[in-house]
């Protein structure tokens, strides 16, 4: 089995401009970038493509396409165009309207938004990847908070341009994770990795480097491979801890942790 390609999320480096981020990722040995449109240093698709080319690294994923609802249709179309210009085959979106008061209405809104956006994604050759979040975020972030929900939506559209972004931080708790990933199968368009660190009382759990928390990440990656996913592995560790380090040191630490997880998945260990 060939080594997995590795992707570094810009979410870990929101304090850097995109050029600095791209250089740190390339120097640390990453194969590709997951670019964040909401990053303060994001200067649009053309400038980002130039920065990546100068660093000698490609863009794998564009995150995020905003809230995928009817009200955000024009923003979604812009994001699809930017993903195509960057050469990113995957656009990760937040599924449905923010702060969904009525789950059924939010689901209908998501379906309508996908209907509107799908023709543009097909023309651009971009996969719209729905990312199910952790249920703790259901009230203010996304209606889509289980893997089963996300697969339901993708199956209803049955298009190669509607896929899933599966994030270990959001999904690891699910007692039906293995069955859900098998069901997702070829629809998995991106795999994002971070650990779940047990927090101090009264605080939300932070994302940790692989191996620092409760998630058997090697098993998580192995399940995605068994489901048919053959793409790159992205590390997405958010928070001040990574940002407090010099960029290259931080990127190298993330690369080492991701490589260790990938090897653990191949060898069947829990790393």
**39 and 10 Cβ atoms separated by less than 8 Å:** yes
Q: What is the pLDDT, as a whole number, of residue 62?
A: 98
Task: Annotate the chain with three-state secondary structure.
Answer: CCCCCEEEEHHHHCCCCHHHHHHHHHHHCCCEEEEECCCCCCCCHHHHHHHHHHHCCEEEEEEEEEEECHHHHHHHHHHHHHHHHHCCCEEEEEECCCCCCCHHHHHHHHHHHHHHHHHHHHHHCCEEEECCCCHHHCCCCCCCCCHHHHHHHHHHHCCCCEEEEEEHHHHCCCCCHHHHHHHHHHHEEEEEECEECCCCCCCCCCEECCCCCCCCHHHHHHHHHHCCCCCCEEECCCCHHHHCCCHHHHHHHHHHHHHHHHHHHHHCCCC
Give dist(CA 44, CA 41) in Å, integer.
9
Six-digit token pair at 203?
Answer: 């605080």
Q: What is the pLDDT, as a whole number, of residue 1?
A: 46
Six-digit token pair at 191?
Answer: 């795999």
Entry field: residues in the chain: 271
Q: Residues of 231-247 as b/e, b for ≥16 C-beta within 10 angstroms?
A: bbbbbbbeeebbeeeeb
Q: Which domains does the chain have, with CATH numbers?
A: 6-267 (3.20.20.150)
Q: What is the pLDDT, as a whole number, of residue 201?
A: 65
**33 and 261 Cβ atoms separated by less than 8 Å:** no
Q: What is the pTM of this model?
A: 0.92
Tens-place pLDDT, residues 28-78: 999 999 999 999 989 999 999 999 999 999 999 999 877 778 888 899 999
Taking 50 as the pLDDT cut, the residues of the chain under it are: 1
Q: What is the pLDDT, as a whole number, of residue 166?
A: 98
**155 and 161 Cβ atoms separated by less than 8 Å:** no
Q: What is the pLDDT, as a whole number, of residue 271?
A: 53
Q: What is the pLDDT, as a whole number, of residue 213?
A: 92
């Amino acid at each position: 089995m060939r080594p997995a390609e590795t992707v570094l999320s810009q979410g870990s480096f929101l304090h850097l401009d995109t050029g600095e981020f791209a250089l740190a990722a390339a120097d640390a040995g990453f194969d590709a970038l997951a670019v964040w449109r909401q990053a303060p240093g994001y200067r649009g698709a053309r400038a980002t493509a130039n920065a990546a080319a100068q660093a000698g690294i490609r863009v794998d994923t564009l995150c995020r396409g905003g809230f995928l609802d009817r009200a955000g249709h024009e923003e979604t179309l812009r994001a699809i165009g930017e993903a195509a210009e960057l050469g990113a085959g995957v656009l990760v979106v937040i599924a449905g309207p923010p702060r969904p008061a009525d789950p059924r209405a939010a689901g209908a809104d998501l379906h309508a938004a996908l209907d509107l956006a799908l023709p543009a994604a097909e023309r651009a050759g971009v996969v719209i990847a729905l990312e199910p979040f952790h249920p703790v975020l259901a009230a203010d972030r996304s209606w889509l908070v289980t893997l089963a929900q996300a697969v339901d939506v993708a199956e209803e559209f049955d298009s190669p341009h509607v896929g899933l972004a599966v994030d270990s931080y959001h999904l690891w708790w699910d007692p039906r994770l293995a069955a859900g990933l098998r069901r997702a199968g070829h629809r998995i368009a991106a795999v994002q990795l971070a650990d779940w660190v047990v927090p101090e009382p009264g605080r939300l759990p932070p994302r940790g480097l692989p191996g620092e928390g409760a998630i058997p990440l090697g098993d998580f990656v192995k399940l995605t491979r068994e489901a048919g996913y053959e793409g790159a592995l992205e590390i997405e560790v958010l928070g001040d801890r990574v940002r407090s380090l010099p960029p290259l040191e931080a990127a190298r630490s993330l690369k080492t942790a991701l490589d260790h997880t990938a090897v653990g998945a191949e060898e069947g260990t829990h790393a």
